[in-house]
Amino acid sequence: MSEESNLDVPQAKIRRGYGSLLSIWLVPIIALAVAAFLIVKTVVEQGTEITVIFENAEGMTPGKTNLKFKDVNIGLLKRIDILDDEKGVSVVIDINREADKYLTDTARFWVVSPSIGLQGITGLETILSGSFIEIDPGKGGERKKEFEGLATPPVITSNDKGTEYVLSTKSLGNIGRGTPVVYKGLRVGTVLGYRLAKDNQSIDVYTFVKAPFDALVLEGTNFWNAGGVNISVSTSGIEVGAESLQSLLTGAVEFDTQSIYKSTWKAESGHKFKLYKNLKAKEDAKYTEKADYVLYFAGSVSGLAVGAPVEFRGIRIGTVKEITLEIDEENKKYHIPVLIEIEPQRITLTDAGKRLLSVVEAGNLRKKIIENLIMRGLKGKLKSANFLTGQLIVDLVLAPETKAVFLATSDRYPEIPTVPADIEKITTSVAQLVEKFSKLPIEELGRKLTDTVGGIDKFINSGELQATISEYRKLAVAVRKVAESVDEKTLPQIGMTLDETQNAIKKIDATLVSAEKMFSSANSLIADGSPFKYDLTVMLQELSAASRAVRGLAEFLERNPSALISGKR
Amino acid sequence: MTEKFVTAQSIDAVSCPLCNLLVSNSYRRTKSNHCPRCDGELSSRKKNSLNRTWALLITASILYVPANIYPILTLVSFGKSTTNTIVGGVLELMDAGQWTIAAIVFIASVLVPIFKIVALFFLVISVQFNFKWQPKRRAVLYRFTEFIGRWSMIDIFMISILIALVKLQAIATVEAGAGAIAFAAVVIITMFAAMTFDPRLIWDKLGEKV
């Protein structure tokens, strides 16, 4: 067997074997090639591994959480480690090769999860799919592999074109991340965030204004907080102001440029602006020059508040800044120094030729203008600005005829002398009027009237009158009877009848007498020329005249409330 | 080897691989290498048995690597995709407390293929290097290998059924991963390897020496 097979079978096997050997060994070679291809592909596709540090790993699952850019998967979370200092977690993400170019130092990472925020509900899709990490590649820069993740999604991404500004404010109010920036009610930007300024005294609010609206932000632009409801009770009444419903809920920053600043340059990115508390504060802020004066009021200043306007002939030129109480124990004198702030820029100055003065000239002159006015008899007095709320303002009047009394105990501020307020005069006359009213014997008059009416009533309803009338009727019947039966009836009958008649007549007489008494007394009460009637008439006339006068006064005051102070002109 | 068996080879004949007709070698040499009864090609042993088994075993071993590294299925449920490798799936089942299913999957998908590959390697090496150890036990091992071969396909069947059934688009979709293909290839190739291995070779080499 062995010889034969050695001779024959192996030959055949070898000849045929090469083909089948090759073909069978092709299988593992192909398998190896496929495996190698898979491995190479995996290695090639692996891309870069980056580390992002987050505060926590909320919603992240290794191997499942994706990294997305514009909702396209560009990577997969591989591993989550807790930092050595336990201050956060480092997340290792495998980034696809093609997304390699996004890994620069301007790239930002944040976790997208469902949230209800100022701009509505976002990340709703992640309820089903789970959170994912989003990347904003930024504008490019140095390559980097370690990043710090944002705790909250950025308000703007690098796709949004616009300019960033810094607003400085004393109080943040209701401004927060995502607060809209509006221009004439149109939403043009967003508040990115805020930070306590380096001096710890103010807050820097980082604001983004989208292009092309950022062209509207000039160096002279004013920003103010337009959010929420502004309820201000001032001398001009109660003012309630609100922007859109959204700004009511979330607050808003509004900006505008005054016409005089329209020619200033467009503000650079990062330009620092002042953020005014509200529109009013922004309006008031036009006047940069300020001069303080002190006024000493002798009477009560109840109703005068800090912030109340200071007016000159009805034009606001300043604000009440401070109200204090000074007691001079030695002389037993009480003073109320009221510190006011006058903004001279509110006054336009002209020279004799009615020509507007130049800015410099006016500036120099303004410094002296109040002093000059004081010399010419400028006096301060309290004036009621609103009859209802009882608020007072400081009114500056020219009253050279009143002697100026200077009471200042220190010369820290220049003093404006004061005169007593008109309000005191009015209060006095009103009091007098009330007194007159109260002097009228209204009660007594009323009582008398009631008595009289009661007497009349009593008389009418009393049985006597009724009885008298019925007696008369009986008499009449009897007389007719007598007349009818006089010829047929006997004399004694007549005699009886006469007696009866006599009796009746007597009775009538008595009744008539009493009735006459009654009427005459009633008459005396209401007769022309009777003292009572005269009294009544005079009183009614007085009453109606008084009410007419009061009505007239009320109507006039309604139309001209200022008349209470300034009098009827 | 105290007992003496009669084999086709020992009487200088060939058993037709198809119809098992004994044909003498002289017939093959003089007449034809084809069976006189069924006209099938005559061959004493499976052709290139060792070579083929080697090749297929190596292929299976190579493919076993991606079969375990790559996910065998991707479940996309509510936009959230979950991929699982074989071992990962077993671990997940264990985490979920499904110990029986975990055991079944582990046995069918991990133990059985490994056992098959190792057992076949052992058989091929033992024949290649003329091991004399326990031919009967090796035969048992071979039979067992052939028997369990098909069972590691349950994973593939399961994945196929899942893919066909779970097509709810957004809610849930199952996709086969690269691992599934590799794994199916491993199972099929090891089955072929077992088939191409000729167990008679175990005794052939023994017989030569005896």
Phi, psi of A365 (to 5 degrees): -70, -35
Residue A253: per-residue pLDDT: 85
Please say whether the dihedral angle defined by the alpha carbons of residues B94, B98, B99 and B101, taken in this order, is positive or negative: negative
Within 8 A of A28 by CB-CB distance, chain B residues are 55-56, 58-59, 62
Encode pLDDT of A389-433 as tens digits: 677 888 888 888 877 777 776 777 888 888 877 656 666 677 777
Residue B22: per-residue pLDDT: 86
Encode pLDDT of A485-518 as tens digits: 655 555 666 667 678 888 888 888 888 888 888 7
**Partner-chain residue, chosen from B44, B48, B82, that has the shortest CB–CB distance to A24:** B48
* Cα first-last separation, chain B: 8
Residue A441: per-residue pLDDT: 74
Residue A20: per-residue pLDDT: 60
CA distance A237 to B126: 108
**Across the interface, do B79 and A128 touch by the CB < 8 Å criterion?**
yes
Q: Are A377 and A559 in contact (CB under 8 A)?
A: no
Q: B121: domain CATH number?
A: 1.20.140
Structure-token pair, residue A146? 């370690």
Is the pLDDT confidence value at B208 over 60? no
**Partner-chain residue, chosen from B25, B55, B63, that has the shortest CB–CB distance to A24:** B55
For residues B141 and B179, state if they share a domain.
yes
Residue A7: per-residue pLDDT: 46
Omega before residue A212 within 30° of 0, cis: yes
For residues B117 and B204, state if they share a domain.
yes
Mean pLDDT for the stretch of residues A321-334: 81
Residue A11: per-residue pLDDT: 42
For residues B17 and B74, state if they share a domain.
no
Encode pLDDT of A66-83 as tens digits: 888 888 888 888 888 888
For residues B16 and B36, state if they share a domain.
yes
Which one, of A353, A325, A340, A252, lies nearest residue A294 by Cα?
A: A340
Structure-token pair, residue A205? 């609010």
Residue B30: per-residue pLDDT: 82
Which one, of A40, A252, A270, A275, lies nearest residue A166 by Cα?
A: A270
Encode pLDDT of A437-463 as tens digits: 777 777 777 888 888 878 777 777 777
Within 8 A of B9 by CB-CB distance, chain A residues are 1
- Output the DSSP codes for A376-432: TTEEEEEEEEETTTTEEEEEEEE-TTSPP----SSSSS-EE-B---HHHHHHHHHHH
Q: Are B162 and B174 in contact (CB under 8 A)?
A: yes
If DSSP codes are grouped into helix, strand and coil, which group holds residue A130? coil
**Across the interface, do B80 and A38 touch by the CB < 8 Å criterion?**
no
Indicate the pTM of the whole model: 0.44
Any B CB within 8 A of A531 CB: no
**Across the interface, do B48 and A21 touch by the CB < 8 Å criterion?**
yes
Please say whether the dihedral angle defined by the alpha carbons of residues B31, B35, B40 and B45, taken in this order, is positive or negative: negative
Residue B121: per-residue pLDDT: 92
Q: Are B35 and B16 in contact (CB under 8 A)?
A: yes
Residue A356: per-residue pLDDT: 58
For residues B37 and B71, state if they share a domain.
no
Q: Which residue has the higher pLDDT, B193 or A236?
A: B193
How close B57 comes to chain A (CA, Å)?
8
How close A68 comes to chain B (CA, Å)?
14
What is the count of structural domains for chain B?
2
- Under the banding of pLDDT at 50, 70 and 90, the label for residue B210 is very low
Residue A444: per-residue pLDDT: 79
Vertex A101 angle, CA A95 and A103, to 5°: 65
Residue A383: per-residue pLDDT: 80
**Across the interface, do A28 and B62 touch by the CB < 8 Å criterion?**
yes
Letter for the amino acid at A274? K
Q: Which residue has the higher pLDDT, B187 or B76?
A: B187
Residue A266: per-residue pLDDT: 79
Q: Which residues of A514-538 are buried (b: 16+ CB within 10 A; e: fewer)?
A: eeeebeeeeeebeeeeeeeeeebee
Residue A568: per-residue pLDDT: 67
Residue numbers of the domain that contains B9: 1-44
Residue A334: per-residue pLDDT: 78
For residues B155 and B192, state if they share a domain.
yes
Encode pLDDT of A194-210 as tens digits: 888 888 888 888 888 88
For residues B80 and B133, state if they share a domain.
yes
Task: Scan for tokens 């909250």, then name that residue.
Answer: A152
Is the pLDDT confidence value at A16 over 60? no
- Under the banding of pLDDT at 50, 70 and 90, the label for residue B1 is very low
**Across the interface, do B51 and A25 touch by the CB < 8 Å criterion?**
yes
For residues B86 and B139, state if they share a domain.
yes
Pairing of strands A108-112, A146-150: parallel
**Across the interface, do A32 and B62 touch by the CB < 8 Å criterion?**
yes
If DSSP codes are grouped into helix, strand and coil, which group holds residue A298? coil
> How high is the mean pLDDT of chain B?
82
pLDDT above 90 coverage of chain B, percent:
2
For residues B34 and B87, state if they share a domain.
no
**Residue B84 CB neighbour total at 10 angstroms:** 18
CA distance A15 to B90: 49
For residues B72 and B162, state if they share a domain.
yes
Under an 8 Å CB criterion, which residues of B touch A?
9, 12, 25, 29, 44, 47-48, 51-52, 55-56, 58-59, 62-63, 65-66, 70, 78-83, 178, 185, 189
Within 8 A of B41 by CB-CB distance, chain A residues are none
Q: Looking at the DSSP assignment, which residues form a beta bridge with residue B83?
A: B74
**Partner-chain residue, chosen from B9, B48, B59, that has the shortest CB–CB distance to A31:** B59
Within 8 A of A31 by CB-CB distance, chain B residues are 58-59, 62-63, 185, 189
Mean pLDDT for the stretch of residues A361-387: 77
Which residues are CB-contacts of B10 (< 8 A; sequence separation ≥ 6)? B207
Within 8 A of B44 by CB-CB distance, chain A residues are 9
Task: Scan for tokens 């007349």, then name that residue.
Answer: A483
Is the pLDDT confidence value at B201 over 80? yes
Is the pLDDT confidence value at A22 over 80? no
CA distance A415 to A317: 16
CA distance A368 to B29: 140
For residues B179 and B110, state if they share a domain.
yes
Least confidently predicted of A55-64, A527-536, B26-35: A527-536
DSSP B80: E
CA distance B70 to B85: 6
**Across the interface, do A4 and B25 touch by the CB < 8 Å criterion?**
yes
**Across the interface, do A64 and B47 touch by the CB < 8 Å criterion?**
no
Pairing of strands A291-297, A415-416: parallel
Within 8 A of B51 by CB-CB distance, chain A residues are 17, 20-21, 24-25
- Under the banding of pLDDT at 50, 70 and 90, the label for residue A359 is low
**Residue A308 CB neighbour total at 10 angstroms:** 24
Within 8 A of A33 by CB-CB distance, chain B residues are none
Rg, C-alpha atoms of chain A: 51
Encode pLDDT of A153-181 as tens digits: 777 777 778 888 888 888 887 788 778 88
Task: Scan for tokens 């009114």, then name that residue.
Answer: A395
Residue B169: per-residue pLDDT: 64
- Output the DSSP codes for A185-213: TEEEEEEEEEEE-TTSSSEEEEEEEETTG
How close A65 comes to chain B (CA, Å)?
9
For residues B54 and B34, state if they share a domain.
no
Residue A1: per-residue pLDDT: 41
Which one, of B106, B81, B80, lies nearest residue B93 by Cα?
A: B106
**Across the interface, do B52 and A9 touch by the CB < 8 Å criterion?**
no
How close B12 comes to chain A (CA, Å)?
6
Element (H, E) at A93: strand A89-95
